[in-house]
Amino acid sequence: MNILGVGTAEFILILLIMLIVAGPKRMAQWAYQAGRYTAKFRLIWAETMQMLENELNESGVDVKLPREMPTRSQLNAQIGKALEEVSQPVKETVAEVDAQLKEVEKAVSVNGSSTREHASSTTSEDVATDGGQEHENNTPDFGTWSGGKLDD
């Protein structure tokens, strides 16, 4: 439950603080007032929808409007249906990119394993020489970054 960014635990804490500060008698009165305003709002919604439907019917548009206020799940379902035409090409593109990504990963893993096999098949003599010169400890000289010695 999340009402205006307030979760269940925060809502219970607010109710407990209200109960301590206002007392049970005032909280019952507040709940009664909240119920009355909710009923008034629902009545206003129903009257507004009836007026709009009558005006649309008089103009020749036959539309049925909801008498009750829509819930969040109903609104999400309607928005999802409306956006489906727009989101379908995006979903297809994402699926194509995922398929291509899997192909690339498969190619990299195949190439990576063949590279490892090639690297393991090289001998220490191939690695130990650099331009015809052997280095100490049979390691190639990659310059200062690899800890090699600088030639002055």
Query: Is the pTM value of this prediction over 0.85?
Result: no
Per-residue pLDDT reduced to its tens digit, 53-103: 888 888 888 878 877 877 878 888 888 888 888 888 888 999 999 999 999
Indicate the helix (H) or strand (E) that contains 41. helix 8-58
Q: How far is CA 89 from CA 81, 92, 94, 99, 131, in A?
A: 14, 5, 9, 15, 56
Residue 128 has pLDDT above 50, yes or no: no
Q: Enter the DSSP assignment of 130.
A: E
